[in-house]
Amino acid sequence: MSGDLIKLKERLKKEITESRYEHSMGVAYTAANLAMKYGLNIEKALIAGLLHDCAKSMEPKKMLQLCEKNHVEVFEVERKNPGLLHAKAGAILAKEKYDIHDTEILDAITWHTTGKPNMTLLEMIVFVADYIEPHRYKAMNLTEIRKEAYEDINKATLHILKDTIKYLEAGKGEIDKMTYNTYQYYNNL
Ligand code: DGI
Ligand code: FE
Ligand code: FE
């Protein structure tokens, strides 16, 4: 691991909880693995995985302010469900605080929660790695989805979206249009 990455890890560790840090490390290494499998730059996958939840400990109000200050549009559904906002806020923090300017990495952070139609391979890898990293255990069908991730990443992506929508519909989570649009896109591939 390069010195830059080690510094990034040390800085991140101070900003999020220990379990969130362990999750982020899990996502970083899982994304790196998927990058090996699918022929993508490993360092980009590591950085995107490491930083994807860097805004997770921010208060909703602070996340909103950060988005407003940076002219990033916040939708009603994100205002009402601040759990969604850490993705956009995270991309801003990654740039401002962690000095990451690679737009492919920043986009992967922006879309890691809802996904988006026609994702880049890096976006898809971070989206999938977030769901399957080794510390995760609560979601249904994890064993199957973990296998699919290395066989057919489009299939794993669709499976995650299907299960996430099912989970949100069973609870009280309002579904972001982007989550539905992403589901529809991968369902029609
Ligand atoms: O930040 P993490 O917990 O690692 O993972 P994440 O960024 O994927 O966020 C997970 C949460 O986001 C999970 O509880 C489901 C929720 N989520 C995903 N899509 C939607 C959503 N929540 C709402 N309200 N609407 C969505 O469309
Ligand atoms: Fe997240
Ligand atoms: Fe995450």
What is residue 1's predicted lDDT score, i.e. its pLDDT?
Answer: 65
Give how far the C-alpha of residue 128 lies from the chain's centroid of Cα atoms, to the nearest Å: 8
Mutate to test the pocket of ligand 1, among 16, 19, 56, 84 (most ligand atoms within 8 A of CB): 84
Q: Assess if CATH 1.10.3210.10 describes domain 3-187.
A: yes
Ligand 1 centroid–CA 98 distance in Å is 23
Q: Token pair for residue 40? A: 């993508």
Low-confidence ranges of the chain (pLDDT < 50): none
Ligand 2 centroid–CA 4 distance in Å is 23
Question: Residue 36 corresponds to which amino acid?
Answer: M
What is residue 119's predicted lDDT score, i.e. its pLDDT?
Answer: 98
What is residue 172's predicted lDDT score, i.e. its pLDDT?
Answer: 82
What is residue 16's predicted lDDT score, i.e. its pLDDT?
Answer: 98
Q: How far apart are CA 84 and CA 115, in angstroms?
A: 11
Residue nearest to atom 19 of ligand 1 (CA): 114
| Spatial contact of 133 and 23, defined as CB atoms under 8 Å apart | yes
Strands of 41-164, DSSP E: none
What is residue 3's predicted lDDT score, i.e. its pLDDT?
Answer: 78
Contacts of 97-101 with C-beta under 8 Å, sequence gap 24+, read 97/11, 97/54, 98/8, 98/11, 98/12, 98/51, 98/54, 100/47, 100/51
| Spatial contact of 25 and 50, defined as CB atoms under 8 Å apart | yes
Q: Report the predicted TM-score, pTM, of the whole model to 2 decimal places.
A: 0.98
